[in-house]
Amino acid sequence: MIPAFDRLGRTRLIRAGLSTHVDGGRVVNPPVIRASTVLFDSVAHLKDIRRRRDDERVLSYGARGNPTAYALEDVITELEGGYRTRLLPTGLAAITQTLIACLRPGDHVLITDAVYEPVRHFARQFFERFSIAYSFYAADGRDVEALLRPRTRLIYAESPGSLAYEIVDLPALARLAHSRGILLAADNTWGTGYLYRPLALGADIVVSAPTKYLSGHSDVVMGAVTTTQAAWEPVNRSLDAHGMTVSPDDAWLILRGSRTLAARLPIHATGALRVARWLRAQSGVARVFFPALPDDANHTLWRRDFSGTNGLLSFVLSNSSESAAIRLIEALRLFGIGASWGGFESLVTLADMCQARTATDWSRHPFLIRLHVGLEDPDDLIADLERALNEKGD
């Protein structure tokens, strides 16, 4: 599995946001620069920076960003192939702030049924309070055209979707959106700009959680928004108005993690493929969700639009009860029970798909087990799964 833009992606990842002049010398890694107040030579200088800062990235005040964060912005812009990037305190904030920036009362937004679940809570709490209408479209996009309304302003995608990795034909979705003057935003946390590039496929805005693979070490949370040049101004302005920034220490941690993304991802992917193939052959497993498997429902689009896979895979047991899933999860020793993913360690979590999806019927197999395959030896992980599947007593 040699990704089409793997070579380009790897070089971009290493060259972006590098080397800063410090005291007359150049260091490879940008240092952590902690600052709230920035000093100016004169009032005229202060006024000049204030005038330019809405459009240009100039250092003016800590709440408007810091040089360490700028370096990380550059890495993410490079990876996603965008115009510019803004960083936010969490991946969820990147999503909600993008929605706030793009929508106003009376607008309608279409959200994928495969969306990261907390976005549903946000829709219930915020959209209803601010008279923004929303509907969920089927994760493969088949009903999008039928759901469009005169005031549809934004289509929000996440491909592959959370938990079951449904893939949408993003170029087709972009054509449909743009033919009606509608913006297309996509959550690219799964693809990190390295396995998938929604902006190149027609999206206007990409949101992501560097919390996951860019960090790679399960010790920091962060969000990012990257846009095309055309979509930049309103998003940037709204983020400034809300005072959105990140700490330089957090930016530095993600920057450090990002440099080894290209080394880590293939290990996650190879391990996950081994585990997925093994799980599919087990009689106690009813279905495995992993687009890199040739018989996965999303395999054709995955082959067309993606350059690789990562460590995420999910499955449902033949015994569809919640207690069977819990017994298996609790019998595992090498998979920590925990949310999030993208770190070096293997994780397992339980999802109730009847809560996580509303436009699709999951009542036959509601309890989905999601694995994040870490950097451990896949043989050890498979042995752990085998023991747990046999032990759980059904």
Tell me how crowded residue 26 is: count the other CB atoms within 10 A of its CB.
9
Amino acid identity of residue 362, one-letter, is W
Among 221, 246, 275, 371, binds ligand PLP (CB under 6 A): 221
CB of 189 to ligand PLP, least distance (A): 4
Q: What is the rounded CA–CA span in Å between residue 50 and residue 251? A: 24
Is residue 218 close enough to count as binding ligand PLP by CB under 6 A?
Answer: no
Residues paired with residue 184 on neighbouring β-strands, in sequence order: 155
Q: Which residue is nearest to ligand PLP (CB)?
A: 91
Instruction: Using the minimum distance from each CB to ligand PLP, give the nearer residue, 230 or 339.
Output: 339
Shortest spacing between CB 310 and ligand PLP, in angstroms: 11
Across the strands, what pairs with 87? 224
Q: How far is the CB of 122 from ligand PLP (least distance, A)?
A: 11
Contact 382, 336 (CB under 8 A): no
Token representation of residue 40? 């100016």
Which of 107, 140, 169, 187 is in the footprint of ligand PLP by CB under 6 A?
187
Among 68, 152, 159, 162, binds ligand PLP (CB under 6 A): 162
The site that binds ligand PLP (CB under 6 A) totals a number of residues, namely: 14
Interface mask (CB under 6 A) for ligand PLP, residues 102-131, using x and -? --------------x---------------
C-beta closer to ligand PLP: residue 211 or 310: 211
User: Mutual orientation of helices 229-241 and 91-102 as an angle, nearest 10°?
Assistant: 100
Applying CB under 6 A, which of residues 9, 81, 91, 248 lies at the interface with ligand PLP?
Answer: 91
Residue 216 backbone class (left: φ over 0; alpha: ψ -120 to 50; beta: rest): left
Question: Alpha helices of the chain — where are they, by DSSP H?
Answer: 6-15, 43-52, 67-80, 91-102, 118-122, 128-129, 144-147, 170-179, 229-241, 248-258, 261-280, 299-305, 322-331, 353-356, 378-391
Stretch that binds ligand PLP, among 6-14, 89-97, 315-323, 353-361 (CB under 6 A): 89-97
Least separation in angstroms between CB 234 and ligand PLP: 21
Nearest to 213 by CA among 356, 315, 78, 345: 345
Which of the ranges 74-82, 86-94, 275-283, 300-308 carries the binding residues for ligand PLP, by CB under 6 A? 86-94
Dihedral (C-alpha) 132, 137, 141, 142: value to the nearest 10 degrees? -120
CA–CA dist 291, 341 (Å, integer)? 18
Binding residues for ligand PLP restricted to 302-361, rule: CB under 6 A: 340
> Please, which residue, 301 or 389, has the CB nearer to ligand PLP?
301
Beta bridge partners of 21: 26
Choose the binding region for ligand PLP from 170-178, 207-215, 240-248, 353-361 (rule: CB under 6 A). 207-215
User: Considering only 16-24, 27-35, 39-47, 90-98, which stretch makes contact with ligand PLP by CB under 6 A?
Assistant: 90-98
**What's the CA gap between 358 and 36, in Å, rounded?**
44
Query: Under the criterion CB under 6 A, does residue 211 sit at the interface with ligand PLP?
Result: yes
Residue 337: beta bridge partners? 348
Query: Residue 232 in 3-state DSSP?
Result: helix
Options 76, 177, 209, 292; binder of ligand PLP; rule CB under 6 A:
209
189 binds ligand PLP (CB under 6 A): yes
Interface ranges with ligand PLP (CB under 6 A): 90-92, 116, 158, 162, 187, 189, 209, 211-212, 221, 223, 340
